[in-house]
C-alpha cells in the first residue's frame, strides 16, 4: 500500500486582506456557500472603469508636467546654444563681444574660460601681426640707405640694384597692406554684392580686358564693402593676369552668395592647390614665369572671406582652366 502524502492547505485569507488584493490577468474563483450552492467569480472581458481612470490620470499628469519639463530642458539647453553661437561668431569675427557670465556657477565658469581663450587668441594674433608689421616697416630705412649709396656706383650695377630695391619696396608695401587688411576691425553694413561685382567687372572691361558677368538676381549681404570689393577684384584680376580673361557668375545657393570666377588659363597643378593660399607662395610656375605677384593676393582674399564667415576655394575647370569660388553667408 502506498501512503498518500498530505498536501499542505494554504492558510485562509481574511476578507479585509482580500479586499486589498488586486489580481491582474485571467483567473477563476469559486466559493461554496453553506446551502450547497456555488458562487463563481471570473474577470469581465472588458476595459474596466478603473483602467480608464488610471489612463486618464496618466494623460493629465503628462500634460501637467510637460510645460515644466520643456521649460527645464530649455533652461539647460540655453547655455549650450550660447556656446555654439559664440564659437560660430568667434570663427567669423575673432573680435566679437565675449560671452555674458550668467547662469549657474558651472556655466559661468565655462563662459569665463571661453572668454579667456578668445582673449588669448586675439593677443597671439596681435603679437604676430605687430612683429610682421614692425619688420616690414623697419625694412624701408635700410632700403632707402642702399638707394642713396648706389648713386656713386657704376650705371650697370646701380640700375640692377635699383630694380631689386624697387621689388623689395613693393614686397614691403604689400606685406604692410596685407597686415592692415587682416587686422583692422571690420565695419559691416548691408551691401549689394551684384552691384559691387558689376563695378569691378565694368572697370576692367573699360580697360579692354575680356571680363564678363552673367546676369542674375540681386544678392544682398552684410559685409565690409572695401574688403569685399578688394576680394572680388583680387580674384578677377588673377584670372585676367594669368589667363587673359574671366567669366564671372553670381548666384544665391543654400543661403550663401556664391561668386565663381572662371578662366581658360593653364590652371594650377594639383600639388599646388593646397599651397596657393599660403603667404608669399607664388604659383607662376604653372602659369606665366614672367608674371606673378608677391604671393599675398589669394591669402588676403581667403582671410577676408573667412572673416565674413565664408571661404575661397580653387578647383580645376573641366576642359582646362581654373575656377575660383567665393562663398559668403547671406
pLDDT band, very low/low/confident/very high, at 259 (cuts 50, 70, 90): very high
> Across residues 224-229, what is the average pLDDT?
85
Among the residue ranges 12-21, 255-264, 301-310, the one predicted with the least confidence is 12-21
Which percentage of the chain shows pLDDT scores above 70?
A: 80
pLDDT given at position 152: 74
- Rounded Cα–Cα distance for residues 259 and 241 (Å): 19
Over residues 112-127, the pLDDT tens digits come to 888 888 888 878 777 7
Query: Mean pLDDT over all residues of the chain?
Result: 77
Is it the case that residue 324 has pLDDT exceeding 80?
A: yes
pLDDT given at position 19: 64
- Rounded Cα–Cα distance for residues 145 and 66 (Å): 79
Among the residue ranges 55-69, 74-88, 108-122, 201-215, the one predicted with the least confidence is 74-88
- Rounded Cα–Cα distance for residues 255 and 195 (Å): 19
pLDDT given at position 3: 47
Residue 185 is classified by DSSP as P
Over residues 171-226, the pLDDT tens digits come to 777 777 766 666 666 677 888 999 999 998 988 888 888 888 888 888 888 888 88
> Across residues 258-265, what is the average pLDDT?
89
Residues forming a β-bridge with 191: 221
Half-sphere exposure of 280 (CA within 13 A, CB side): 6
**Angle (nearest 5°) at CA 112 between 109 and 116:** 140
Who contacts 139 (Cβ-Cβ below 8 Å, separation ≥6)? Answer: 168, 172
C-beta of residue 194 within 8 angstroms of C-beta of residue 219: yes
> Across residues 60-73, what is the average pLDDT?
86
Its pTM surpasses 0.75: no
Cell of 96: 566679437
Amino acid at each position: 500500500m502506498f501512503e498518500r502524502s498530505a498536501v499542505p492547505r494554504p492558510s485562509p485569507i481574511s476578507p479585509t486582506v482580500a479586499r486589498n488584493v488586486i489580481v491582474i490577468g485571467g483567473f477563476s474563483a469559486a466559493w461554496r456557500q453553506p446551502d450547497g450552492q456555488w458562487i463563481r467569480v471570473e474577470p469581465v472581458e472588458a476595459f474596466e472603469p478603473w483602467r480608464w481612470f488610471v489612463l486618464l490620470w496618466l494623460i493629465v499628469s503628462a500634460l501637467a508636467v510637460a510645460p515644466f519639463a520643456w521649460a527645464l530642458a530649455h533652461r539647460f539647453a540655453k547655455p549650450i546654444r550660447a556656446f555654439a553661437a559664440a564659437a560660430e561668431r568667434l570663427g567669423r569675427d575673432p573680435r566679437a563681444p565675449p560671452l555674458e557670465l550668467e547662469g549657474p556657477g558651472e556655466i559661468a565658469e565655462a563662459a569665463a574660460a571661453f572668454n579667456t581663450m578668445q582673449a588669448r587668441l586675439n593677443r597671439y594674433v596681435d603679437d604676430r601681426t605687430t612683429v610682421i608689421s614692425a619688420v616690414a616697416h623697419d625694412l624701408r630705412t635700410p632700403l632707402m640707405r642702399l638707394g642713396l649709396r648706389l648713386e656713386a656706383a657704376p650705371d650697370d650695377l646701380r640700375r640692377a640694384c635699383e630694380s631689386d630695391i624697387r621689388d623689395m619696396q613693393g614686397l614691403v608695401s604689400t606685406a604692410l597692406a596685407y597686415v592692415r587688411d587682416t587686422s583692422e576691425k571690420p565695419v559691416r553694413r548691408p551691401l549689394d554684392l551684384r552691384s559691387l561685382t558689376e563695378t569691378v567687372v565694368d572697370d576692367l572691361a573699360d580697360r579692354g580686358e575680356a571680363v564678363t558677368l552673367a546676369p542674375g538676381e540681386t544678392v544682398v549681404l552684410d559685409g565690409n564693402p572695401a574688403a569685399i570689393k578688394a576680394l572680388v577684384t583680387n580674384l578677377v584680376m588673377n584670372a585676367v593676369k594669368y589667363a587673359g580673361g574671366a567669366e564671372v557668375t553670381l548666384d544665391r545657393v543654400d543661403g550663401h552668395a556664391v561668386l565663381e570666377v572662371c578662366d581658360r588659363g593653364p590652371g594650377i597643378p594639383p600639388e599646388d592647390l593646397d599651397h596657393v593660399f599660403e603667404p608669399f607662395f607664388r604659383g607662376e610656375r604653372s602659369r606665366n614665369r614672367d608674371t606673378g605677384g608677391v604671393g599675398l593676393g589669394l591669402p588676403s582674399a581667403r582671410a577676408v572671406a573667412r572673416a565674413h564667415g565664408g571661404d575661397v576655394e580653387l578647383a580645376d575647370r573641366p576642359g582646362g582652366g581654373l575656377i575660383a569660388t567665393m562663398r559668403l553667408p547671406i
